[in-house]
C-alpha cells in the first residue's frame, strides 16, 4: 500500500496568514492526489483533486501543487472558517490511502 | 442535488455484525462507485473498501478483507457495508463516499454512521 505522510500534524496560525501543508507519497502517484477539509462532527469535504484542480464552489484561496511524490496544499489569507483538519489522499491505486491529517488551529 | 444518506447510529456487542446503508439520490447511480471510510474517535480516516455499482467488483483493504462485505442494490440506489465479528476497536464513525468511474477523489460523502461496540 502507498503510504501518505503529511506534515505538520498540527499548526497554529492567525486569520490572514498563509498556510502550507505538505504531503509525501511513498511512491510516485502522478497527480492522483486529493485534499479534504474536515470540521468537527462533519464528514470530510473535497477541496482539490488531480493535485491542483480546485473543486467547483471551493474558495479560491485554496490551491494545490505537486506531482509524483511531493504535494502541497496552500491556504492564502486564512479565514476563520478554515480552522479545521486537512487530509491528503491518493487515488492512484487500491487501497486508497490517506495522510494522517493536519489540524489548523487558531493562534 | 446529489446526496448520500446513511442509516442511523448502532450499538453492538462484541462478536456481533453491523450493516450500514447509504442511499444515493440526485445522480446516475451506476456512474459512481462507493467507498467506505471509517474514523475512530479522535483519529484519522481509514479506507475500508470500494465497490463498483456497474458490475459489483470490489476491492477491500487487507485489514478488513475477511470481515467486511460491500454490496449495492441498483433498484433502491443503496450501498451497504456489512462488518462482522465486531470488536471494541471497531467503534468509529463509518462514512460512505462516492467516486466517479474516472476517479477524481471522493466528491460526495454521507453524513456518517456512529457504530459503538461495547459489552
Each residue of B48-79: pLDDT tens digit?
Answer: 999 999 999 999 999 999 999 999 999 999 99
Are A96 and B111 in contact (CB < 8 Å)?
A: no
pLDDT at B42 over 90: yes
pLDDT band with cut points at 50, 70 and 90 for residue B102:
confident
Does the pLDDT value for residue B101 go beyond 90? no
CB of A82 closer than 8 Å to CB of A21: no
Contacts of B105 in chain A (CB under 8 A): 34, 36, 46, 48-49, 55, 89, 91
For A7, A64, B102, B105, B109, the CA distances from A56, given in Å and listed in that order, are 26, 14, 17, 13, 16
Low-confidence ranges of chain A (pLDDT < 50): none
pLDDT over 90, % of chain A? 98
How far apart CA B35 and CA B50 sit, in angstroms, is 4
Check residue B95 and give its pLDDT.
98
pLDDT of the residue at B51:
97
Amino acid at each position: 500500500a502507498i503510504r501518505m505522510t503529511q506534515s505538520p500534524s498540527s499548526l497554529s496560525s492567525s486569520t490572514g496568514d498563509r498556510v502550507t501543508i505538505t504531503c509525501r507519497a511513498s511512491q510516485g502517484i502522478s497527480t492522483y492526489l486529493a485534499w479534504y477539509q474536515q470540521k468537527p462532527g462533519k464528514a470530510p469535504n473535497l477541496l482539490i483533486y488531480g493535485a491542483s484542480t480546485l473543486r467547483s464552489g471551493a474558495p479560491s484561496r485554496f490551491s494545490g501543487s505537486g506531482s509524483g511524490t511531493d504535494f502541497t496544499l496552500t491556504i492564502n489569507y486564512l479565514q476563520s472558517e478554515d480552522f479545521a483538519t486537512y487530509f491528503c489522499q491518493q487515488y492512484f491505486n487500491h487501497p486508497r490511502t490517506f495522510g494522517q491529517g493536519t489540524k489548523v488551529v487558531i493562534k | 442535488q446529489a446526496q448520500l444518506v446513511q442509516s442511523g447510529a448502532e450499538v453492538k456487542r462484541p462478536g456481533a455484525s453491523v450493516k450500514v446503508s447509504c442511499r444515493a439520490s440526485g445522480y446516475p447511480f451506476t456512474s459512481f462507485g462507493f467507498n467506505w471510510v471509517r474514523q475512530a474517535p479522535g483519529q484519522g480516516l481509514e479506507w475500508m473498501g470500494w465497490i463498483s455499482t456497474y458490475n459489483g467488483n470490489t476491492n477491500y483493504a487487507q485489514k478488513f478483507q475477511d470481515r467486511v462485505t460491500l454490496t449495492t442494490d441498483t433498484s433502491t440506489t443503496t450501498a451497504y457495508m456489512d462488518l462482522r465479528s465486531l470488536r471494541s476497536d471497531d467503534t468509529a464513525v463509518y462514512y460512505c463516499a462516492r467516486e466517479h468511474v474516472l476517479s477524481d477523489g471522493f466528491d460526495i460523502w454521507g453524513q456518517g454512521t456512529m457504530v459503538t461496540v461495547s459489552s
